[in-house]
Structures are given as structure tokens and as C-alpha cells.
Amino acid sequence: MAVTLFTIQKAGESTTWDVRQLLESDIEWTTDIDFSAGELKFKLVEVDEGFTPKSGDIVRFKWDNKPVFKGRIFKFDYDGSEVFSVTAYDSLRYFKNQDSLVWPVSTISQRFTKVAKLAGVKYRVVNGSNHKLAAEVCDSKSYFDMLKDSFKSTQRATNVKHFLFDNYGTVELRKTPFKNIDYYIGDKSEMTNFSYSRSIDDSANIVRVVRTDKKKKQTSTSTAKASTKEDPKNTKFVTQTVSHPNSVKKWGRLQVVEKAKDKANTAQMKQKAKDILKSKGKQAHTLKISTFATLSMIPGNYYPVKIKSLKDIGVGTKYMMITKATHKFTSTTETADLEMKVRW
């Protein structure tokens, strides 16, 4: 295994520098499913040949002739040891651009296509959705934030999670699982360490959806509880709703409040509360693994995980989704620190 391509090209110029011999340290590549640009960090030794990395320079990196990263330099530091510490981002960095848009009734495929064009990046819809989202106004928001809200609404309605990934310069709209990998990660599969956690920090067992009635100057509420009789005129308090009968007893009251659309009716508000409760009424199970790696260990892919110590605490062999991956490339090896969400 080896770095087979590592070049830097000046923006708008044909001159390309092969900098493999200038790499001073390991290469670190980080990707995240949670609306974040892919990041490449590396160090270069200064040479007296007229080459200096500059903001906007295009970086291309291949490992064993397989494409890994294509993006632009956004930052570099230079110190007394005459070494450049460089940070480059892939095309998803341009989804941090802010804008003001009015969305008509449309799908996430259509919204993704529009913002990708506005961001000026190459794009491809790999896994789209036909679910129609309500019209809305997005004022002074980043493209990431606009899509985050649309993706969340689509997931609540369809139970399908979509995400963005930069595939060597082309931003792709994908869904999970993107790929199910057959070979497992675990005790006898080059794993070097792991840590596991369960959390209810972001969980909820009571959901309150609120709509402000401007004409009557009062607030009406709807709670996702089948046994609660709706009465919009008396909505000062919300009856608790749990994800299962013992949730509040086990965890205490975990309540979230979301605003409804101005014209949302009681049925729509109630359905929204149910959708939110469905997604938030459970524990988060997170697994972090350090392992010798392959390039398929990227966010959105599912791997079977087999760790005896986890089985001892009730987590058997399961397919788990990679949510974040930090790959480190040396001259001959590739390792990764993976964050995985347990399918529970």
C-alpha cells in the first residue's frame, strides 16, 4: 500500500506539482455524515524550487491508485522548521455558503440539485426521494442548514435517511445504508481498540408541538398521545407522552418543543409530534473503533461488528453504520478511527 498520487495544482493554471516526496508526516482524511465537509490534513517540507502552497490550490490524493480526495487548500501554517501544515476541504465546503431562498413544494432531490448548482460544484443524485416537502422560506441560512431541515422532514415521513458525500470532487446525494459490507470488524479482524456508550442526552419521551394563533392571540398545542383528547381552546398544559409505557419512569421527563406552521391544523400538529417522538424516543448507542482500514470504511456504509466484550453486555453481532471516519495514511499503512451508530 502506498500514496500513488498526491498533487497540488494552482487554480486556473495547468502547472501541477507532484509533492509526494515533500510529505513530512502522515496524511489525515476525515469524513462525517452530519453535514460537514471532508477534510484533508498534511505537512509539506519547504523546497527551494519556487513552490509554495496557496489558498485555493487544488489537491488530489490517491491511495493504491484509488481516488481518495479532491479539494482545495483553505488554510496553511508555516513555522521555523520550514514545514507547511496544510488543511484542504472537499467540495462540500461550499455548502457552508449562505443564501436566502423560497422553496416551493419540492423533494430533497430537487432542493439538493438547486443548491449544488448555486454552490458551483459537480453533483449527482445517487439515491433520491419522491417525498414532497411543504413550501418554506429559508432566510440567511447555509445550504447545509437548508438541506438538514429538508432531510430531517423526509426521514420522519419516509423512515429513510439521506446524506451527502463528496466522491472525489462530485457531491453525491445518497441514502443509508449506502453499502452493506460483508466482512466484519472485530476482535479477530484487525481491530486495535474500541469504546462504547449509551446516551439519552438527546432523547425525548414528551413532545410538544406549538402553533401561535395570531388572530386569537393564544396558543394551541397537540401532544402525540392517542389517549389524550385534543382541545385547542385549553392548551396551557401538555399531557405527557412516552415512547413506551416505562420511559418516563425510567428516564424522567424529557420534553422537547417544536413550532408548527402558522396554518397547521390539529391533525397535522399531532402527526408532527408523533414523527418527532418516533425519532427521538430512544437511546443513542455509539461505538468508536480503531482499526486497520480500507477505503470502504466511510460514512453511510454498514459493517457487521463482532466484539466479545460487547456481547457480554448485551450487544451481539450487528450491522452498524459508520457516521464519522478519520483515516490516517503512512508510507505503507492505512488505519482509521471510526464512529458507528448501532442499529438498535
Question: Buried b / exposed e across 190-202, counting CB within 10 Å, b at 16+?
Answer: ebeebebeeebee
Per-residue pLDDT, 227 = 46
| Residues 124 and 140 grouped into a single domain | yes
Per-residue pLDDT, 342 = 82
| Residues 333 and 187 grouped into a single domain | yes
- Give the span between the Cα atoms of 59 and 35, in whole angstroms: 21
Burial of 183 (0-12, 13-18, 19+ CB in 10 A): exposed
Structural domain of 265: 206-280
pLDDT tens per residue, range 43-59: 999 887 678 899 999 99
Burial of 68 (0-12, 13-18, 19+ CB in 10 A): buried
- The amino acid at residue 156 is R
| Residue 127, CA atoms < 13 Å, CB-side half-sphere | 15
Per-residue pLDDT, 238 = 36
318-329/27-32 β-pairing = antiparallel
Domain end position, chosen among 235, 265, 280: 280
Of 209, 210, 208, 211, nearest to 263 (Cα)? 211
| Residues 262 and 292 grouped into a single domain | no
Q: What is the pTM of this model?
A: 0.84
CATH number at residue 110: 3.55.50.30
332, 15, 94, 327 alpha-carbon torsion, rounded to 10°: 0
Task: Say if residues 140 and 148 touch (Cβ distance below 8 Å).
Answer: no
| Residues 23 and 161 grouped into a single domain | no
Instruction: Specify whether the backbone of 50 is left (phi greater than 0), alpha (psi in -120 to 50) or beta.
Output: left
Domain end position, chosen among 234, 253, 280: 280
58-63/66-78 β-pairing = antiparallel
Which of 59-68, 79-88, 226-235 shows the lowest mean pLDDT across its residues? 226-235
**Is it true that the peptide bond before 177 is cis, omega within 30 degrees of 0?**
yes
* pLDDT range class, residue 245, cuts 50, 70, 90: low
| Residues 333 and 189 grouped into a single domain | yes
| Residues 169 and 120 grouped into a single domain | yes
* pLDDT range class, residue 282, cuts 50, 70, 90: confident
